[in-house]
Amino acid sequence: MFAWLHTAASATARLGCAVELELRSRRAYTEVMSSREYEVVLTPEEDGGYSVTVPALPGCISQGETREEALAMIREAIELYLESLEAHGDPIPGPIEIEGVTVSA
């Protein structure tokens, strides 16, 4: 009887692992298929660090002590911004084009 319990437990564990792998696979597929790319503007601050804005997402602003931290923070801000739009049934803005313009000074 102990061998049967062990075998049943092993089968359940394998099934649990298979289900978990399937769920992870679906999540990864969903993340890849639903990923979006947005242009961000990093602005060095006088006191140090960076502020970051997303021109395509009005009001989506963050900051960080380093470029890496600022970019990590804006990724999170973008995700939360998009989640809020989705939760309220608002359309998700697509990327916008950003061009550099030269002017005489």
Tell whether pTM > 0.75. no
What would the CATH number be for the domain defined by 36-91?
3.30.160.250
Asked if 95 and 74 touch (Cβ cutoff 8 Å), the reply is no
Using DSSP's 3-state secondary structure scheme, residue 59 falls into: coil
| Max CA separation in the chain (angstroms) | 88
Asked if 18 and 24 touch (Cβ cutoff 8 Å), the reply is no
List the pLDDT tens digit at each of the 105 positions of the chain: 444 444 445 554 555 555 565 555 555 544 544 788 999 999 999 999 999 999 999 999 999 999 999 999 999 999 999 999 999 999 999 878 888 999 998
Q: Quick one: pLDDT at residue 41?
A: 96
Helices (H) and strands (E) in the chain, counts: 2, 3
Long-range pairs for 84-91 at CB < 8 Å and ≥24 separation?
none
Q: Quick one: pLDDT at residue 96?
A: 86
Helix or strand run (H / E) with residue 4: helix 2-33
Give the amino acid at 75.
Answer: R
